[in-house]
Chain A
Amino acid sequence: MTTQKTNIPAAATVATGQKAEYSLTVYTENQIGLLNRIAIMFSRRKINVISLNTSPTEVDSVHRFTIVINETEEVVRKLCRQIEKQVDVLKAFYNTDEEIIWQEMALYKVPTDEVAEKVKVERLLRKYGARAVVIRKDYTVFETTGHREETDSLIKALEPYGLIEFVRSARVAIIKDSKGFHEKLKSYEKSDPGEELIENEFLNQQDEVFTM
């Protein structure tokens, strides 16, 4: 399998030898242990994983990892090939931010009385495209989805009002130019369906065992 870059070559947007944010999209079988097999590709080279998301795909048995790292294209290209070499990996792509549509979701917990009193909640929500997920007497949870800068700026906006807790999801990304692979994947699944995932069915039967 070839490691293919989609859409515009990264060189057009990122200078050679320069580190940049790359999103790796890895299509895999749904197998236990694969997360580790992929994660150690990065830790082995002492590369920090900025974000990692696992997700199902449009095809039943195929799983998808979206991994964000900050590295040079050279390093990312080699990594992608090493990942694709793994037996349970179907395909690995890497893309610059320009080549993908991406989103991250964030949740913010703030004291309700503070925001109710001091902030014009309505304006805040409109400005940041956020919405209230839960409104309780003691706290309110807002949610927003967008690029990093967007979720970051809402932190800043809410900090003065006693932000209690913040969490951001991993990046999910869709490759702009992915139609070709989608077709391939579908025909793949049809002619050669994936195997079923087998989990440990015995963990709750500890009392029934005799060991030596």
Chain B
Amino acid sequence: METLEIAKAKKAKAETTSISGSVAVLEALIAENVTEIFGYPGGAIMPIYDALYDYERKLHHILVRHEQGAIHAAQGYARASGKTGVVFATSGPGATNLVTGLADAMIDSTPVVCITGQVFAQLLGTDAFQETDVVNITTPITKWNYQVTDASEIPSVLAKAFYIASSGRPGPVLVDITKNAQQQLFEYAGYKKCDHIRSYRPKPIIRKEYVENAAKLINEAKKPFVIFGQGIILGKAEKEFTAFLEKGNLPAAWTILGMSAIPTDHPLGVGMLGMHGNYGPNVLTNECDVLIAVGMRFDDRVTGRLDKYAKQAKIIHLDIDPAEIDKNVKTTVSVWGDCKETLPMLTALIDKKDHKSWLQKFATLKKQEDETCINAELNPTGEEMTMGEVIKTLNELTKGNAIIVTDVGQHQMVACRYAKYNNSKSNITSGGLGTMGFALPAAIGAKLGTPNNTVIAIAGDGGFQMNIQELGTIMQSNIGVKILVLNNQFLGMVRQWQELFMDKRYSFTNITSPDFVKVAEAYNIPGEKVTDRSALKNALQKMLESKGAYLLEVMVGKENNVFPMVPQGCSVSEIRLK
């Protein structure tokens, strides 16, 4: 008996090794197939950075210039690659600088795991140097967060963190690790991935009868209309979705985050929804008889006035998040579940139809939109360049094969309206939160996540200055991001509203900028400024052909407006063409 005990003890000993909490963090990342980390060191996370020094070959750390840059980069990385983005930041200001990015990732359902250093567990609550109550600050803007005070918790907590961030409806997770836990040695028994948490059900159980009811409604519909969001991309259900559309010949419009789930040139793709979306999809939302919403959440920028939104239609809503069903728009049939599973079930039950005259309606309204505003935007006759013609010229060169990362404002709406996308996950933008300063760092992440793609950050003169320091990251880590600044010398979107709704009282929307080309040059990034239409195409070509990073500034009309537009408080069918 005694020998058995000893043998057992020996065996147990052989299975564990003594490692520090910091090493356990890095081992967890490796086990989760993490290859890139975006971060910034500081006092409370120094033990992890010290351990990282020995892991340089296994884990590529990108030193950003501001923690906000780190988390936006991780978001861009996640959105472009479909993997989970990882961020390191120190306690206090390091962690609070993540707040905007966390909120952005939360509202846009982006899988990100942030690891923040924290003061020693002994000092919590003492107002220690760089102590901030990060877990409580980030509670409303994380899918889950947790504070580790003992190293032995690290493997299982990080396993949970990665599982929660990427499963179900993805979202950001923050793990705050006190410095003592990073330093502490503990008996490590290896890393075990998490695939189940008893209180958490990432995917609701699919109820077949609801799928059948939905199919029945679709089969009876004369004017069915599909609207879709990022759920298709997050659910990796692009093929299933296309098959669904093509079987039923269903016209489909995308939300800003759903864009690129199907190629923008797909014959059944009828354009973008929402405030600056296309004319047809907005107007016909209030004419369809069955509205089929897939993986989208009826944001107010999509629906306009809710009491006048698709009131005539029966509404089917497919979503993985039960809390989204009936949140803004009451459904006739709700299909809870992962659309990768529900869409094929639905496709199998729907009839083949052609809906010719209904599709024709979209084409007619598109023609009207072309004539009233698109042509003028894409082929301007005036002296000033328009943002639309820059995007059009870019399309001609990229043929829709680039990843386009936009900032927030007029250029974002124009890029989303006119850019061509052939591939899923190639439109990356801050949709829900509307975070200016998003594009440059997110493009850095997107490029690192998909190194073989051309990644173009498009920003306005305002937003570009909000995280302009990340040019330093591009310089140091040699990241081949193309930067296209559309400069209208205004905070254009706010100016547009001031013009339309506030009697042109341009209150603080007039912004001056440095010489962007010179700034880039200081960071060793080549660039050019274009003020004349005749130079545009060559300049864009040069940017795309340049080897590494490149900045192109294009001066566009100062007071151009983005149209069509659904004014706030109006119904989607009251969309203005000019």
- The range of chain B's interface size is 35 or more
Q: Does B247 contact A (CB under 8 A)?
A: no
Residues of chain A with a CB closer than 8 A to B180's CB: 202, 209
Q: Does A152 contact B (CB under 8 A)?
A: no
Contact, CB under 8 Å: A36 / B139: yes
Q: Does B406 contact A (CB under 8 A)?
A: no
Q: Known: A81-B322, A209-B120. Is A29-B150 also a contact (CB below 8 A)?
A: no
Ordered by A's residue number, 5 sampled pairs between the chains whose C-beta atoms are within 8 Å are A36-B139, A40-B139, A87-B197, A208-B122, A212-B46
Q: How far is the CA of A37 from the CA of B138 in the complex (A)?
A: 10
Contact, CB under 8 Å: B121 / A85: no
Contact, CB under 8 Å: B139 / A212: no
Q: Kindly provide the distance from the CB of B31 to the nearest chain A CB, expressed in whole angstroms.
A: 20
Q: Known: A33-B145, A78-B327, A85-B321. Is A28-B199 also a contact (CB below 8 A)?
A: yes
Contact, CB under 8 Å: B122 / A205: yes
Q: Kindly provide the distance from the CB of B112 to the nearest chain A CB, expressed in whole angstroms.
A: 15
Q: Kindly provide the distance from the CB of A198 to the nearest chain B CB, expressed in whole angstroms.
A: 6
Q: How far is the CA of A82 from the CA of B321 in the complex (A)?
A: 10
* Interchain CB contact (< 8 A) of A44 among B120, B140, B153, B197: B140
- Per the 8 Å Cβ criterion, residues 123-149 of B in contact with A are 123-126, 128-129, 135-136, 139-140, 143-147, 149
Contact, CB under 8 Å: B198 / A212: no
Q: How far is the CA of A212 from the CA of B120 in the complex (A)?
A: 10
Contact, CB under 8 Å: B164 / A82: no
Residues of chain B with a CB closer than 8 A to A37's CB: 139
Contact, CB under 8 Å: A209 / B122: yes
* Interchain CB contact (< 8 A) of A192 among B144, B198, B321: B198
Q: Does B53 contact A (CB under 8 A)?
A: no
Contacts A81-B327, A192-B198 supplied; 14 other A-B pairs, CB < 8 Å? A32-B147, A33-B146, A37-B139, A78-B323, A78-B326, A81-B322, A88-B200, A194-B198, A200-B121, A201-B121, A201-B150, A203-B121, A203-B124, A209-B122
* Closest 10 pairs (CB-CB, A-B): A202-B121, A81-B323, A192-B198, A202-B122, A87-B144, A90-B199, A87-B200, A85-B323, A206-B122, A200-B149
Q: How far is the CA of A32 from the CA of B128 in the complex (A)?
A: 21
Residues of chain B with a CB closer than 8 A to A33's CB: 135-136, 139, 145-147
* Interchain CB contact (< 8 A) of B120 among A32, A198, A202: A202
Q: What residues of chain A have their CB less than 8 Å away from a CB belonging to chain B?
A: 1-3, 28-29, 32-33, 36-37, 40, 44, 78, 81-82, 84-85, 87-90, 188, 192, 194, 198, 200-203, 205-206, 208-209, 211-212
Residue ID in chain B nearest A90 by CB atoms: B199
* Interchain CB contact (< 8 A) of A211 among B119, B322, B327: B119
Residues of chain B with a CB closer than 8 A to A1's CB: 201, 204, 322
Q: How far is the CA of A194 from the CA of B200 in the complex (A)?
A: 12
Q: How far is the CA of A162 from the CA of B417 in the complex (A)?
A: 73
Contact, CB under 8 Å: B200 / A200: no
Q: Known: A36-B139, A211-B120. Is A87-B199 also a contact (CB below 8 A)?
A: yes
Q: Does B43 contact A (CB under 8 A)?
A: yes
Residues of chain A with a CB closer than 8 A to B327's CB: 78, 81
Q: How far is the CA of A194 from the CA of B197 in the complex (A)?
A: 9
Q: Kindly provide the distance from the CB of B192 to the nearest chain A CB, expressed in whole angstroms.
A: 14
From A2, A87, A188, A201, name the one whose CB has the most chain B CB atoms within 10 angstroms: A87
Residues of chain A with a CB closer than 8 A to B201's CB: 1
- Per the 8 Å Cβ criterion, residues 70-128 of B in contact with A are 119-126, 128
* Interchain CB contact (< 8 A) of A29 among B125, B140, B199: B199
Contact, CB under 8 Å: B322 / A87: no
Residue ID in chain A nearest B149 by CB atoms: A200
Contact, CB under 8 Å: A40 / B140: yes
Contact, CB under 8 Å: A198 / B153: yes
Residue ID in chain A nearest B179 by CB atoms: A211
Contact, CB under 8 Å: A211 / B128: yes
Q: How far is the CA of A188 from the CA of B198 in the complex (A)?
A: 8
Contact, CB under 8 Å: A206 / B123: yes
Residues of chain B with a CB closer than 8 A to A200's CB: 121, 124, 149
Q: Kindly provide the distance from the CB of B212 to the nearest chain A CB, expressed in whole angstroms.
A: 19
Residues of chain B with a CB closer than 8 A to A81's CB: 322-323, 327
Contact string against A for B residues 180-213, beta-carbon threshold 8 Å, 1 for contact and 0 otherwise? 1000000000000000011111001000000000
Residue ID in chain A nearest B173 by CB atoms: A87
Residues of chain B with a CB closer than 8 A to A203's CB: 121-122, 124-125
Residues of chain B with a CB closer than 8 A to A202's CB: 120-122, 149, 180
Q: How far is the CA of A200 from the CA of B321 in the complex (A)?
A: 34
Q: How far is the CA of A44 from the CA of B141 in the complex (A)?
A: 12
Q: Kindly provide the distance from the CB of B248 to the nearest chain A CB, expressed in whole angstroms.
A: 29
Residue ID in chain B nearest A62 by CB atoms: B199
Residues of chain B with a CB closer than 8 A to A28's CB: 199
Contact, CB under 8 Å: A2 / B322: yes
Q: How far is the CA of A81 from the CA of B197 in the complex (A)?
A: 18
Contact, CB under 8 Å: B322 / A88: no
Contact, CB under 8 Å: A89 / B322: no
Q: Known: A40-B139, A202-B149, A211-B120. Is A85-B199 also a contact (CB below 8 A)?
A: no
Residue ID in chain A nearest B152 by CB atoms: A198
Q: How far is the CA of A208 from the CA of B322 in the complex (A)?
A: 49
Q: Kindly provide the distance from the CB of B333 to the nearest chain A CB, expressed in whole angstroms.
A: 16
Q: How far is the CA of A33 from the CA of B321 in the complex (A)?
A: 23
Residue ID in chain B nearest A211 by CB atoms: B120
Contact, CB under 8 Å: A84 / B123: no
Residues of chain A with a CB closer than 8 A to B122's CB: 202-203, 205-206, 208-209
Residues of chain A with a CB closer than 8 A to B146's CB: 33
Contact string against A for B residues 430-467, beta-carbon threshold 8 Å, 1 for contact and 0 otherwise? 00000000000000000000000000000000000000
Q: Known: A1-B201, A88-B199, A192-B198. Is A212-B43 also a contact (CB below 8 A)?
A: yes
